[in-house]
């Protein structure tokens, strides 16, 4: 079985061909990070325009590197939610046109379930049910993966996502976009104990997250230091921030594992590349004898291999769409079965 995956939810135009669910034949990514870095973050209209310019060449290259043609494909999978609506529409429109012209099944994929599926590529023996922490620039949630196409949300963020917290704090600390990577680099040489930071909690909802207060604490500390002429040790602030975010994420995951009884834990999403989070999660899992599955760095960020992988499982489960498929800026992973 050969599935083409197309991803355009933010600022990467990507296409990939995956064979038999987990064997990656090609994985092409055209990143816009350097261009958006000039503005300190993603500019939605600019991202959409670049997707329009890049998508045909990226898909063509993915097919060529995989050594296949459109006729060889069993289906075309595409990210349809969540993300920047204009960016999503480029990928959805292209996939719909391609599927219609070639007479191939169109397979809708929720971006976050794609991130979860990246673990199947890295860990082919990983099988549901298990617990997964999904953590990225726009989303933070704990999900019970009941099977490869059925998910139950156990906890989610009430305000900012962990990746958003990293990016906004990085900006106030003077680091360039993308900020999460810069925070991780700076944290390696900082003193995490120099700036004690709060660990916000959500009253009455022990598995939900809140990062807005943490972000505000960092910003206020930096602004106050600037007002009184006290230089900020940016590396130490980065180290403290990273340690705090990792601790919050790990503690919530540990509690969810205790409440559900799962002994296999996966981490997915762009922030799963963070070295502090990886260390904290591994240490927690080692203490309890849990199995930890985290994708390699190349599969943590947005890519189309994960979309083709999840698309393969959706296809096998009979999850396809017709030409009325639309893009949605936000939608729960619990609605993956359309």
pLDDT given at position 41: 87
Judge if 166 and 293 occupy the same domain.
yes
Q: Does one domain contain both 270 and 141?
A: yes
Average pLDDT in the 302-309 region?
A: 98
Band the pLDDT of 137: cuts 50, 70, 90: confident
Residue 279 lies in a domain: yes
> Domain check: are 238 and 317 in the same one?
no
Same domain membership, residue 69 and residue 211: no
For residues 198 and 235, membership in a common domain is answered with yes
Confidence of residue 170 (pLDDT cuts 50, 70, 90): very high
Question: Confidence class of residue 337 from pLDDT cuts 50, 70 and 90?
Answer: low
Range of the domain at 169: 128-297
**In sequence order, what are the beta bridge partners of 152?**
144
Please state the rounded mean pLDDT for residues 255-272. Answer: 97
Q: 261 burial class (0-12, 13-18, 19+ CB within 10 angstroms)?
A: exposed
Q: List the structure tokens of 116.
A: 């979860």
Same domain, 166 and 40: no
- Phi and psi at residue 126, in whole multiples of 5°? -70, 125
Q: Looking at the chain, how many residues does it have? A: 338
pLDDT tens digits for 42-76? 999 999 999 999 999 999 999 999 999 999 999 99
User: Rounded to 5 degrees, what are φ and ψ at 116?
Assistant: -60, -40
Shared domain check, 132 and 106: no
Assess contact for 76 and 99: CB atoms under 8 A: yes
Chain center to CA of 143: 14
CATH of the domain at 72: 3.30.420.40
pLDDT at 202: 86
Residue with tokens 């060449």, as numbered in its chain: 57
Enter the pTM of the model.
0.95
Measure Cα distances from 77 to 2, 46, 138, 148 in Å.
Answer: 11, 24, 22, 15
How many structural domains comprise the chain?
Answer: 2
Which pLDDT does position 106 carry in this prediction?
Answer: 98
Q: What is the mean pLDDT of residues 197-214?
A: 91
């Amino acid at each position: 079985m050969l599935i083409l995956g197309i991803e355009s939810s933010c600022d990467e135009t990507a296409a990939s061909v995956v064979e038999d669910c987990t064997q990656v034949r090609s994985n092409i990514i055209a990143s816009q990070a350097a261009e958006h870095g000039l503005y300190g973050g993603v500019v939605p209209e600019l991202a959409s325009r670049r997707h329009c310019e890049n998508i045909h060449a990226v898909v063509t290259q993915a097919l060529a590197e995989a050594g296949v043609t459109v006729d060889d494909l069993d289906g075309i999978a595409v990210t349809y939610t969540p993300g920047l609506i204009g960016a999503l529409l480029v990928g959805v429109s292209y996939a719909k046109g391609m599927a219609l012209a070639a007479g191939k099944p169109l397979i809708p994929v929720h971006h976050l379930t794609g991130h979860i599926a990246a673990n199947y590529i890295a860990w082919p023996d990983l099988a549901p049910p298990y617990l997964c922490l999904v953590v990225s620039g726009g989303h933070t949630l704990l999900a019970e993966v009941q099977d490869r196409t059925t998910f139950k949300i156990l906890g989610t963020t009430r305000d900012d996502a962990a990746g958003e917290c990293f990016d906004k704090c990085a900006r106030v600390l003077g680091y360039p976009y993308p900020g999460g990577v810069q925070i991780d680099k700076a944290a390696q040489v900082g003193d995490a104990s120099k700036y004690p930071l709060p660990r916000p909690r959500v009253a009455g909802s022990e598995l939900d997250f809140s990062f807005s207060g943490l972000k505000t604490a960092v910003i206020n500390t930096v602004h106050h230091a600037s007002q009184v002429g006290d230089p900020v040790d940016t590396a130490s602030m980065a180290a403290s921030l990273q340690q705090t975010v990792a601790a919050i994420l790990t503690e919530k995951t540990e509690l969810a594992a205790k409440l559900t009884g799962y002994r296999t834990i996966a981490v997915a999403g762009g922030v799963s590349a963070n070295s502090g989070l990886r260390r904290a999660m591994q240490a927690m899992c080692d203490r309890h004898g849990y199995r930890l599955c985290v994708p390699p760095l190349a599969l943590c960020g947005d890519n189309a291999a994960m979309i083709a992988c999840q698309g393969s499982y959706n296809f096998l489960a009979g999850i396809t769409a017709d030409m009325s498929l639309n893009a949605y800026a936000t939608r729960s992973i619990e609605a993956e079965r359309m």
